[in-house]
Structure 1
């Protein structure tokens, strides 16, 4: 069983991350990006890469630190506390994990580019309103020694900014994963800022040419490469949502201490104390689920599915509770754009849907337990 205690190295990583992000990417940084019409800060990502964050899951021989999934979740959690907008999950977690499943020189060079911060990735999987990779219909039709891709992908997070995309397509006898540059002829992207100010693109593939070198893994066997990558991304996203909940909780508690009614801080009212205590308990339990998922991915990745889905499901509900309680306990100010709580609520809503919502992950847990 995974040991649910943070290591000294993880504590140091969290402290270093918090020190950097409080200065370089507070919530006001996200507000500034939104107000200027931007969804990401390239200079911020470059700084993260220089600190080694882009290579957190990249092998040392490819220029990374290879610290593992629990460490990646530590970083994601700290980013969640101040709503940092970056390509960390799509690039440093999902793409890096997928590329690690291939052992060829091309994959190694791609990992090296990720670790250096020179290349970013997006994941093109979704085609409908809900996450369901197995239902992929984008067609990869055989043509000579290569393929022609035709179809559409929706909700491609970071798709408007990314240099490359991992594209899931249906081939003759299954699903195949392609690693394509976003400027490949026939690919068109319609990028829009979501309510949380991250970018997501609608991507159209019009007879896009792909060859054997573009295939990541084996033809008709995409899930061997993609499943570990998706689970890594789900665990990191759960950690970000847990960090989001912690950030919203901290903001709410500070307000309860400062806001006065009848001459005393409202935090002295027992009803509000009970609600805050309940939220704190939920955050702590979810933090354990996050740590368990990271440990499972590091120690027994073949059997980590239930731990990862438990983490994502719990993080979804905890983040929802944290932002709802935050808005309510702040009263009228909690509903205004001038106050930051709304940013937490919007991010929680988008993160709920990405990589599988509560129902998707609850179903995985139920099936794993024989229901």
Structure 2
């Protein structure tokens, strides 16, 4: 298998690295943390001008037709800069759900707006009782005279308060009132009956919890033709985990580079820390963990379009392994910086927090070890 990047992919990586290094400074991150949106609309517009928002969208819908490898290159650069713009929620998840489930009319109406930077999306799927089980949805959608009526609650909605539209998953009630297949519904921000509780996310960005009380929607709010949306949700979440793995690798590489540089200039008893053999061994262990995580993220990206079992095993394997690697790298970086590692003066703590958030998002290592085993046929799902 040839893993060499193409010329276009190398240019994408170089331009992304350069833009992130110049734009996402410590000062910018502190400013974004105090912004009600959690990100800069001006920078989001620049993302659109650079073509990044159009990257995975099909050419027929105003995009560039890129794949998981290109997304991974961008996300790794975003990890280096602790980017908080809603790229994951809008482009990696939202646009992909519309592409997977939407009718042609819905795709033509929504995807070009995403590519232009005119529309942001959020995906409201997680519920308190689900425990990361994608099939567990208690929110209901009932047919009404004018279309649909939604009732339920959602938690941990990434960038939900800033989204123009929210894709909400709900069980479609049958004629006898019983819950049936899973559907996805486009809910505009500020819809009557929709209540949002916004909060800052660990490591940057914002999230929210949603309550839906008799939210009235038109008939065309349902994405697609009413087919069960669970397979599409599993596909998109697996791809999102591959993208998150690449972001985590960017964070881990930055922690390694920063810690390596610090141990060269920080002196103790007249010698730099890096002169101590035990410190060198610890840095070697950190470098090994970064390389292992990068390999797992790349495998998940390469398997993004594989058949469901192979794709799911690759995504869960990457999420579980990278989660373990990320915690080790983050803890070593903080320890090797000493007391400075937990101060606001350095960015080490911010990177540490983002990795902790990564380990929990879409399920931690323990959850994905179980899912990987279930998909491998070793235990019953």
Q: Give the TM interval when normalised to the shorter protein.
A: over 0.9
| 2:176 corresponding residue in structure 1 | none
Specify the alignment match of 1:259 in structure 2. 266
Mapped contact 2:153–2:209 kept (Cα < 8 A): yes
Q: What is the CA distance between 1:200 and its match in structure 2?
A: 0.7
Are the counterparts in 1 of residues 98 and 223 from structure 2 also a CA contact under 8 Å? yes
**Are residues 1:149 and 2:150 paired?**
yes
Is the CA contact 2:165–2:189 (under 8 Å) kept in the aligned structure 1?
Answer: yes
Q: Summarize the alignment of residues 135-214 of structure 1 with structure 2, pairs less than 5 Å apart.
A: 135-144=136-145, 146-172=147-173, 173-214=180-221
**Structure 1, unpaired ranges of 5+:** none
Give the 5 Å matches for 1:129-140: 130-140=131-141
Count of aligned residue pairs for this structure pair: 370
Are the equivalent residues in 2 in contact too, given 1:158–1:201 (CA < 8 A)? Answer: yes
The answer to whether the 8 Å contact 1:171/1:220 transfers is no
Aligned residue number for residue 240 of structure 1: 247
Q: Distance in 2 between matches of 1:36 and 1:240?
A: 22
Q: Give the TM-score taking structure 2 as reference length.
A: 0.92
Q: Specify the alignment match of 1:16 in structure 2.
A: 15
Q: What's the secondary structure of 1:92's corresponding residue?
A: helix
Report the counterpart of residue 73 of structure 1 in structure 2: 72
1:319-352 deviation digits (Å, cap 9, x = unpaired): 2112111100000111112221110111111222
Asked if 2 retains the 8 angstrom alpha-carbon contact of 1:246 and 1:283, the reply is yes
Pick which of 30-39 and 128-137 moved more. 30-39
Match of 1:111 in 2: 111
Alpha-carbon distance in 2 for matches of 1:141, 1:220 = 15
Question: What is the alpha-carbon distance in structure 1 between the residues aligned to residue 144 and residue 6 of structure 2?
Answer: 52
Runs of 4+ in 1 over 3 A off after TM superposition: 2-8, 35-38, 298-303
Q: Distance in 1 between matches of 2:181 and 2:210?
A: 22
What SS class does the counterpart of residue 150 from structure 1 fall into? strand
Q: Counterpart in 2 of 1:124?
A: 124
Please report the TM-score for the alignment, with normalisation by the length of structure 1: 0.94
Deviations 1:30-58 (A, max 9, x none): 12222566611111111011101111111
Contact 1:98 1:228 in 2 (8 A): no
Matched, 1:284 2:313: no
- Residue 343 of structure 2 corresponds to residue 343 of structure 1: no
Shift of 1:221: 0.4
RMSD: 1.8
| The 10-residue stretch of structure 1 (22-31 or 51-60) with the greater mean CA deviation from structure 2 | 22-31
- How far apart are 1:296 and its partner, in Å? 1.5
| Cα pair 1:26 1:84 within 8 Å, conserved | no
